[in-house]
Amino acid sequence: MSYHILAINPGSTTTKIAYYQDSRMQWVKNIEHDQSDLAPFKTIYDQYHMRRQLVLDTMAEQGTSTAVLSAVVARGGLLPPVEAGAYHVNQAMMDTLRYRPANEHASNLGAVLAWSIAEPLGIPSFIYDPVTVDELEDIAQITGLKEMRRVGMGHNLNMRAAAIKFADSQNRPYEELNILVAHLGGGITLSLHSGGRIIDMISDDEGPFSPERAGGLPGFQVIKMATSGAYNYKEMMEKVQRQGGLKAYFGTSDTRQVEARISQGDDYARLILEAMAHNVAKNIGKLAVVVRGKVDGIVLTGGIAHSRLITDWITERVSFIAPVTILAGENEMESLALGVLRVLRGEEKARTFTEGREGE
Q: Where are the alpha helices (DSSP H) in 203-351?
A: 219-226, 233-241, 245-250, 255-263, 267-288, 308-318, 332-344
User: Exposed, middle or buried by CB within 10 Å (0-12, 13-18, 19+), for 227?
Assistant: exposed
Question: Taking residues 130-145, what's their average pLDDT?
Answer: 95
- Per-residue model confidence (pLDDT) at position 252: 96
Indicate whether 358 pLDDT > 60: no
What residue spans define the domains of the chain? 4-132+333-352, 138-329
Q: What percent of the chain has pLDDT over 70?
A: 99
Residue 38 has pLDDT above 60, yes or no: yes
pLDDT band at 356 (very low <50, low <70, confident <90, very high): low
Domain 4-132+333-352 CATH (choose: 3.10.620.30, 3.30.420.40, 3.40.50.800, 1.10.3720.10): 3.30.420.40
> What is the model's pLDDT at position 208?
98
Report pLDDT for 359: 45
CA-wise closest residue to 307 among 284, 332, 333, 274: 274
Higher pLDDT, 313 or 130: 313
Architecture field, domain 138-329: 2-Layer Sandwich (3.30)
Q: Is the pLDDT of residue 90 over 60?
A: yes
Percent of the chain whose pLDDT exceeds 90 = 89
Per-residue pLDDT band at 103 (split at 50, 70, 90): confident
Pick the closest to residue 157 from 233, 244, 84, 90 (CA basis). Answer: 84
Confidence of residue 104 (pLDDT cuts 50, 70, 90): confident
* 3-state SS assignment for residue 303: helix
Does residue 357 surpass a pLDDT of 70?
no
Query: Which of 243, 226, 311, 301 has the alpha carbon at shortest distance from 276?
Result: 311
The answer, yes or no, to whether residue 360 has pLDDT greater than 50, is no
For 197, phi then psi, to 5°, come to -135, 160
Please give the mean pLDDT across all residues of the chain. Answer: 95
pLDDT 10s digits, 309-328: 999 999 999 999 999 999 99
Q: Are 48 and 110 in contact (CB under 8 A)?
A: no
- The 10s digit of each residue's pLDDT in 249-288 is 999 999 999 999 999 999 999 999 999 999 999 999 999 9
User: Comparing 4-132+333-352 with 138-329, is the CATH topology the same?
Assistant: yes
Report residue 10 CA to chain centroid gap: 13
Q: Is 22 left (phi over 0), alpha (psi -120 to 50) or beta?
A: left
Question: Which pLDDT value is given to residue 57?
Answer: 97
